[in-house]
Amino acid sequence: MQERIAELRAAGEAAVAAATTTDQLEELRVQHLGRKAELPNLLRNVSDLPPAERGIVGKAANQARQALQAAIDARVAELAEAELDAKLVADRVDVTLPGKPEPVGGLHLLTRVRRDIEDIFLGLGFDVVEGPETETVHYNFDALNHAANHPARDPGDTFYLAPSPRLSGDIQRLLRTHTSPMQVRTMEEQDPPVAVVVPGRVYRPDSDATHTPQFHQVEGLWIDVDITLADLKGVLLSVARSIFGADRDIRLRPHFFPFTEPSVEIDVSCHLCGGTGRLRSGERCPLCKGTGWIEILGSGMVDPNVLSAVGRPEYDPERVQGFAFGMGIERIAMLRYGLTDLRTLYENDVRLLEQYA
C-alpha cells in the first residue's frame, strides 16, 4: 500500500514538474487530487484497513496529498507569473506610434483658403452664411444700386438664365456675378447688428490666366449704429495680417462700386519683397511688380440706397450704417501659394495639391 502511495506521489510530482501551463496544472489537480482520483480515495478508505495499518497508510497518503497539492500550488504561481509576463509583452502598446493613420490626400487649395478666411472672421465675431448661386436681377443689381445702364448688366458680362416653367413668375434670373446680393438678403432676414461673411461661387463670362467663368468670393458685411471707415480699416488690417503675415500693412485707394460710398480698394504690402518692391538680389519683385503693394479686395461703406432697398425700418440709413467688402478666394490662393495661372486650380492635377500637402 505504501509503495502504491509513493508511486502515485512520484508520478504526480513528475507530471506537475513537466506541466507548462496553468491550464495543464488544473487538469493534473483534478486527475491526481480530485474526487475520482486514486490517492484521495485511498485516504477516504483508510478506516476499512486493519487498525494496525491505518495510522501508517493514513499518514503516508496524507503527506503524499499535501506534497502534491504544494507542488501544484508552487508551479501554478511560477507559471502564472510567466504567463502574465508573456501577455504583457504580446499586448504591449507602442505609445510612439501616430495616434491616427496618416491622412490620405489633402484638401484643395481653395477649400483651405476658404476655411482659413472663415476661421479668421469667426474669430472676429462674424457669422458664416451662404446664399443662392442663381439670383434675381433685383438682388444682384437693382437692390445694389446699379443704374439701369450699368455695364455689368450686359449679357456679355453676366450669365442670364433662360426662363424656366419650373421657377415661379417671369422674373429674370442669372448666375450671381458676385456674393454681394447676400448683403440685402441677410438684412432682410436678420435685425441689426449684423456681422457676416458669405463664401460662395460666382460666375462671369471671362476666361484667361487670371479669370475663370466660375470662381469664388467671400463677401463681408458689418452693420450697426456706429460703424465707420476706421472699423473697416481695422478689421481688414487684422485679416490681411492673419492671411499674409503679422508685419503686413494695408492701404486704402479710392475706387467706385455702385453699392458702397465711399468705396475703397484695399492693397496689402507685398509679402514677397516686404513691401520694398525689390527682392534681396536687387531684382524687381515679380509679385507686386516693383510697387510694394498688392490689391486684395474691394470694399466701402454700405450705400444708404442699399439700406433703403432692404425696406425695413430696422435698416433706416439715418440710424444704422456699416461696411461691406468682397474678396476673391482664387486671388488670395494665388498670392499665398505663388501660382501664376489661376486655371491650375481647376485642372485637378494632384501634383499641385501634393506640393502643398
Question: If phi over 0 gives left and psi between -120 and 50 gives alpha, with beta otherwise, what is residue 167?
Answer: beta
Query: Which CB sits closer to ligand PHE, 63 or 228?
Result: 228
Smallest gap from residue 261 Cβ to ligand PHE (A): 10
Q: Which residue is nearest to ligand PHE (CB)?
A: 326
Give the Cα-Cα-Cα angle 74, 78, 84 (nearest 5 degrees). 140
Burial class (CB in 10 A: 0-12, 13-18, 19+), 280: exposed
- Is residue 263 within 8 Å of 306, Cβ to Cβ? no
CB of 278 to ligand PHE, least distance (A): 30
Q: Shortest distance, CB of residue 109 to ligand PHE, whole angstroms?
A: 21
Q: Can you tell me the distance from the alpha carbon of 306 to that of 315, in angstroms, rounded to the nearest whole number?
A: 9
How many residues touch ligand PHE (CB under 6 A)? 10
Q: For 346, which DSSP code?
A: G
Distances (CA, A) of 105 to 108, 350, 352, 357: 9, 9, 12, 8
Interaction with ligand PHE in 161-200: which residues (CB under 6 A)?
178, 180
The distance of closest approach from Cβ of residue 114 to ligand PHE in the complex, given in angstroms and rounded to an integer, is 16
Residue with cell 435685425: 191
Of 260, 285, 315, 333, the one binding ligand PHE (CB under 6 A) is 260
Q: Which of residues 313-332 bind ligand PHE (CB under 6 A)?
A: 324-326
257 makes contact with ligand PHE (CB under 6 A)? yes
Q: Which stretch binds ligand PHE (CB under 6 A): 37-45, 192-200, 292-300, 349-357?
A: 292-300
Position 136 contacts ligand PHE (CB under 6 A): no
Q: Which residues bind ligand PHE (CB under 6 A)?
A: 178, 180, 257, 260, 298-300, 324-326
